[in-house]
């Protein structure tokens, strides 16, 4: 991990030490990230006005391919953010695919345990799914978009 600037130093040097302008970023993603902000800017995940989780549609296709799309194509910030996420996630696709398979397989195992009445296994798989889908887990929003996840596992306020 590295620390990067939301608004680049080149664009506004006065923000170089502003906490609201700093965020953690993966080393590879930082190198791939454009060094200038596109017209309209990006959604700011730290701003209450920019609800990234509602403005971006997260999709995982069968097989684990991840895609990001703006919910409103007229929202330039959302368009720019989705484009950036698609660009940055190219190198992460194998990791996302592996996590996708882990989640889907765990859902299948949870469902099987539930159908066969194996309460201990069902509980263990439920705990694992809650861990895999928690906000502390990698690729949380993408994993929570998988259609085979039972809705009762997404209701828990711990997410």
Give 35-80 pLDDT, tens digit per residue.
888 999 999 887 889 988 899 998 887 766 788 999 999 999 999 9
SS3 content of the chain, % helix, strand, coil (to 5): 45, 10, 40
Q: What's the chain's average pLDDT?
A: 84
Q: Is 67 helix (H, G, I), strand (E, B) or coil?
A: strand
Q: Which residue has the higher pLDDT, 63 or 119?
A: 119
Which pLDDT value is given to residue 155?
54
**Per-residue model confidence (pLDDT) at position 74:** 97
Collapsing DSSP states into helix, strand and coil, what is residue 132?
A: helix
pLDDT band at 152; cut points 50, 70, 90: low
pTM of the model: 0.66
Q: Which residues lie closer than 8 Å to 109 by C-beta, 6 or more apart?
A: 121, 125
Alpha carbon distance 106, 86 (integer Å): 26
Average pLDDT over residues 101-111: 92
Look at residue 59 and give its three-state secondary structure. strand
Cα distance between residue 66 and residue 77, in whole Å: 20
Please list the alpha-helical segments (H only) found in 1-159: 27-32, 52-55, 76-88, 93-116, 119-132, 140-144
Both tokens assigned to 54:
């509602």
Distance of alpha carbon 55 from alpha carbon 79, whole angstroms:
9
Range of lowest pLDDT (63-67, 83-87, 135-139): 63-67
Q: Is the pLDDT of residue 131 over 50?
A: yes
Q: How confident is the model at residue 115 (pLDDT cuts 50, 70, 90)?
A: very high
pLDDT at site 46: 76
């Amino acid at each position: 991990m590295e620390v990067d600037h939301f608004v680049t130093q080149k664009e506004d040097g006065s923000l170089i030490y502003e906490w609201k302008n700093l965020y953690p970023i993966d080393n590879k993603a930082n190198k791939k990230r454009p060094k200038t902000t596109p017209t309209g800017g990006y959604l700011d995940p730290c701003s209450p006005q920019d609800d990234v989780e509602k403005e971006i549609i997260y999709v995982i296709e069968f097989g684990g391919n991840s895609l990001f799309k703006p919910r409103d194509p007229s929202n330039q910030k959302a368009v720019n953010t989705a484009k950036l996420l698609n660009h940055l996630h190219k190198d992460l696709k194998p990791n996302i695919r592996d996590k996708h398979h882990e989640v889907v397989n765990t859902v299948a195992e949870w469902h099987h345990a539930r159908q066969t009445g194996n309460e201990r296994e069902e509980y263990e798989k439920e705990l694992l799914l809650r861990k895999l889908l928690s906000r502390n887990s990698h690729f949380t929003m993408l994993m929570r978009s998988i259609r085979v996840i039972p809705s009762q596992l997404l209701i828990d306020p711990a997410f």
